[in-house]
Amino acid sequence: MKKIALVSVIDDDRFFQFSTRKIVEATNLVENLIEFSDGEIAIQYFLAHKDEEAKLPDLVFLDLNMPYMDGWQFLDEFTTNTFKKELITIYISTSSDSKYDRDKFLTYPKLKGYLIKPISKSQFQEVLEAELGLV
């Protein structure tokens, strides 16, 4: 069965990271998962490995509200750089349902979706299956 090689969760909420890891592992659709507690650590990792396709995620779940560097700041830095892996799919995963955030989401053409927490197991399954072209 085809699997997503690497998924990344960028979120300062340890419970969300833990529950996402358990849900993603249970789907058996992902080889590896890497977690970052804020956007600054994540973008440093991405930039340090920008020429190493195998170390860059295929799929990212990105929180908006984090300390040090929030999701929007991460996206601004991410979109101004080029990476050897051309297709890195990013989904916003946030508790924010504000019109401001939803409108801002639309200004980033590289974003694939906007998921509002709590995110169900079936929502994660749908995203993973869509990335693998199973739906």
If you average pLDDT over residues 47-74, what whole number do you get? 97
Structure tokens at 110: 């590289």
pLDDT of residue 135: 78
For residue 41, give every residue at least 6 positions away whose Cβ sits within 8 Å of its Cβ, in sequence order, or none. Answer: 68
pLDDT of residue 86: 86
pLDDT tens per residue across span 30-51 = 999 999 999 999 999 999 999 9
Distance separating alpha carbons of residues 125 and 131, to the nearest angstrom? 10
Distance CA 45, CA 28 (A): 25
Q: Which amino acid is at 6?
A: L
pLDDT in tens, 66-116: 998 999 999 999 999 999 998 999 999 999 999 999 999 999 988 999 999
What pLDDT was estimated at residue 88?
Answer: 96
Report the C-alpha gap between 43 and 32 in whole angstroms. Answer: 18
- Residue 21 confidence (pLDDT) above 90: yes
The domain limits of the chain are 4-131
Global pTM value: 0.96
- In CATH terms, the fold of domain 4-131 is Rossmann fold (3.40.50)
